Structure 1
Amino acid sequence: MLNVSTFLGVATTYVRYKQVCALIPGNSRILRLNRIGLTLGWMSCFGLCIIANFQKCVLYYIHVLGACLTFGVGALYMLLQTVLSFHMQPEFHGKGIFWARLAVLLWSSCSIGSMSVSSGLLYSGRYGSGLEQRLHWDPRDRGYPLHMVSTVSEWSLAFSFLSFFLTYIRDFQKVSLGAVVTLQGRTLHHVPPPGSGAEEQGLLFPESV
């Protein structure tokens, strides 16, 4: 499921990149920010792929690296898109889109702060060792309140990311996607260049295929 989400995230960030390029082709500052945004978006999607393929209870530090890429770099992507929305109002979209993205960005920032603080305290060693590999918690366990705060913050952060991508719905209603097919030859077989030996052989032996 997360691998599918990675593909959808890559596609969404690319469509957003192409949309901004088409809307503001002559503003070098906007185009520079747009390219940086595409890079950050794809880095965040790569982190999501790491999370999907390296479980927390097996390779904890690799999983944490993926989480930092997904949520940390992803928050920078949200910040940059919010800045782009600020510069694009009101000529290209309404002010409500900017304020909605700013609100989601603040929501995401609060969730990151809460998750970082609670996780840092929980895994600091004050409540025991090996807690990062524990799958089942009991309310009587030491550090259980911090575990709950961390878990709620992580889910809140995930929903904030989903909410930010939902703000693209009205923007993408003005976009049509299509594929351009260009034929490189009259057949699907390899066509030898003119003057080659293969062509001469074909002329000498017309029955050959």
Structure 2
Amino acid sequence: MWWFQQGLSFLPSALVIWTSAAFIFSYITAVTLHHVDPALPYISDTGTVAPEKCLFGAMLNVAAVLCIATIYVRYKQVHALNPDENLIIKLNKAGLVLGILSCLGLSLVANFQKTTLFAAHVSGAVLTFGMGSLYMFVQTILSYQMQPKIHGIQVFWIRLLLVIWCAVSAFSMLTCSSILYSGDFGIDLVQKLHWNPEDKGYVLHMITTAAEWSMSFSFFGFFLTYIRDFQKISLRVEANLHGLTLYDTAPCPINNERTPLLSRDF
């Protein structure tokens, strides 16, 4: 059996591969059509102009669904492993809420381009990166609380390093973008897709875009740490029958009739 056939390990793998493909394909399309510069554009800039914005939006919507599925499976796994730990239960629920908000932000980023609806786009970016960073932090605390009984200390250290990487990237991006968009470097920066080294604020722009890409990679690395955990979990779906037909008639006297919908791991 291949590693991606074990349990639900394919889920975080598919999330990272699909999201990376969305970034790569939209980037290649945007650069080929000369809509953005090859040197580190904003991720959102590669999905601003048609046709790449259509590809970018469609693929990120699928990525948001995969992300919600991954976050939910992780939530159920932690819940099953620690049903009586009050702190872990609270952190697990908080992580679920933060993760769903981050996925909602990803969908907003995908469907509202910064050059058309800047407020909606920025709100989505704040949800994606802000709530996503907090989700990573909560899951790292959970990893600490669950060792050494549930898993080894190595997983905690790896996730902690990824959270630190994410925090440094986020701080750099927030600081430089705040200075860049303060008004001292032009008033039309939102619509600007092409930058020259001679432009005012070019260095700040490059630092901001590099930090954005770096932060995204930290997210990818964090979800890849789920692969080994997900190899140890499977889902089973069952159908509960309340009657012998699908018509709106009186309930069947047969109670608790249960038919497995899927007999193998899902």
The answer to whether TM tops 0.5 is yes
1:1-209 alignment, distance < 5 Å: 1-192=59-250
Residue identity opposite 2:190 in structure 1? E
Paired residue type of 1:137 = W
Distance 2:209 2:251 in 1: 63
Give the residue type in structure 1 aligned to 2:146: M
- Higher helix proportion: 1
Cα shift readout 1:75-123 (whole Å, capped 9, x = no counterpart): 1111110000001001000111000000000000000001011111111
The CA RMSD over aligned residues, in Å, is 1.2
Alpha-carbon distance in structure 1 between the residues aligned to 2:118 and 2:188: 10
CA positional deviation for 1:135: 1.2
Q: Post-superposition shift, 1:73?
A: 1.0
TM-score, length-normalised on structure 2? 0.71
Q: Structure 1: any 5+ residue segments left out of the alignment?
A: 195-209
For residues 109 and 251 of structure 2, the distance between their equivalents in structure 1, rounded to whole angstroms, comes to 49
Provide the C-alpha distance between the structure 1 equivalents of 2:245 and 2:66, rounded to a whole number of angstroms: 34
Q: Which has the larger radius of gyration?
A: 1
Query: What SS does structure 2 have at the residue aligned with 1:133?
Result: coil
CA distance in 1, matches of 2:234, 2:87: 26
Q: Which runs of 4+ in 1 moved over 4 A?
A: none
Contact 2:242–2:251 under 8 Å retained in 1: no
Once residues 126 and 74 of structure 1 are traced to their aligned partners in structure 2, the CA distance between those partners, rounded to angstroms, is 30
How many percent of aligned residue pairs carry the same amino acid? 55
Unaligned runs of 5+ in 2: 1-58, 253-266
More RCO (CA 8 Å, sep 6+): 2
Give 1:192 shift.
4.1
